[in-house]
Structure 1
Amino acid sequence: MIPANAIDETVAFYERLQRTSCHMRFVFPHKHLEVAGVGNILVIAGDDEALEPFRSTGASIVVDDIRWYATYLAEAGAEIVEAPFPVSVGSEMRVRHADGLLVNYVEHRPGPIDDSLTSMQDIQ
């Protein structure tokens, strides 16, 4: 997580590091955040107040099927802190792994949001 005014420089660094271009970049206006994806790195930018709720998150992982990961992680003993929920670019969830690490899982989809991701019933 970085200050909002550092996102361009940070994205450029990761583009050079991974020898790839930024493949997604969008704003979450309701959370006052900007997010960019470069290779397997998810860059989250905002002011201190906007980033505060996310500071306890140790990692953000992009996955291809959030329902599969939710089911697998629950069966593996992880705590689903926030069940999969729709966001403007797909869906996300927060999970506390058995080792205590809090992880934000994100599935990005280019198509319409799947409003069925509203409860744990969808993954059980």
Structure 2
Amino acid sequence: MNKMSLPEIISSTLLFGLGVFSLWRGLFFAIQQETVLSDSEFYKALHQFMPIWIWGILMAISSLFLIYSSWLMPKRNSLFHWVLFLGGLTCSFMYLMMTSAGLFNAINWIAPMQFATLSAICGVIAFFGGAEIYARRK
């Protein structure tokens, strides 16, 4: 087993935490559809684009990719980079769509800003995974 340095341990922990954080949202959307839709106009706007339970399933899947990548971090193999890329890309897209829906339908301005931040973080994660995949192909 590879011994991880403190920065790697912190990175893995934060990646795992981001995945779990997003997983709870996905599970809430998928399991509590009626509750979600009665909470706010923001969720209704998301539901108009695509059923809220599909949002939940897609968010849960992307979150599981992020969680799995945190476990693969010590190996840093091709699977790690692909899972990092796919999880980051799908999670980034999901949060970007939530940002768009939240701009005019959120209760206040903090929700869209949080979603935009999460979208950017996931996008950077996808970039790192994708950049390594690209570098290994040469």
- TM-score, with structure 2 as normaliser: 0.27
Query: More helix by proportion, 1 or 2?
Result: 2
- Max Rg structure: 2
Q: Which gives a bigger RCO, structure 1 or 2 (Cα 8 Å, sep 6+)?
A: 2
